């Protein structure tokens, strides 16, 4: 089964974030400076936030491209996606 381009891109981004986390673990094991570790943690957080945004954007796209017949259910579906964006 062929992956959709969006899924492939998400998987690649997740693999990069996974590599970043492993790098942070190594930095901590090697007792690197706090600021360096925090800088890398911030980079991972930004990466994960971007991935979350991409997933939610795909969800919203699907909501509009394939709307539900039940208008109330459709509104709830869109609101759920919006809540995922603004939840921090």
Tell me the per-residue pLDDT of 11-61, one tens digit each, with 9 for 90 and over. 999 999 999 999 999 999 999 999 999 999 999 999 999 998 888 888 888
**32 found inside a domain:** yes
Domain containing residue 68: CATH number: 1.20.58.1000
**23 found inside a domain:** yes
Please report which confidence band the pLDDT of residue 1 belongs to, taking 50, 70 and 90 as the band edges.
very low
- Which pair of structure tokens corresponds to residue 77? 């579906």
Residue 88, pLDDT > 80, answer no
pLDDT of residue 33: 95
Please report which confidence band the pLDDT of residue 84 belongs to, taking 50, 70 and 90 as the band edges.
confident
More confident position, 58 or 88: 58
How far is Cα 60 from Cα 56, in angstroms, rounded to an integer?
A: 6
The C-alpha angle with vertex 44 and arms to 50 and 23, in degrees rounded to 5, equals 145
**What pTM did the predictor assign?**
0.74
**3 found inside a domain:** no
**73 found inside a domain:** yes
Mean pLDDT of 70-76: 85
Question: What is the domain extent for residue 36?
Answer: 8-86
């Amino acid at each position: 089964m062929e992956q959709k381009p969006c899924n492939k891109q998400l998987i690649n981004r997740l693999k990069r974030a996974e590599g970043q986390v492993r790098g942070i673990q190594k930095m901590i094991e090697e007792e690197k400076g706090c600021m360096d570790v925090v800088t890398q943690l911030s980079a991972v957080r930004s990466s994960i936030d971007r991935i979350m945004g991409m997933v939610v954007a795909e969800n919203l796209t699907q909501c509009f491209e394939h709307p539900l017949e039940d208008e109330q259910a459709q509104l709830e579906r869109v609101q759920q996606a919006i809540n995922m964006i603004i939840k921090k």
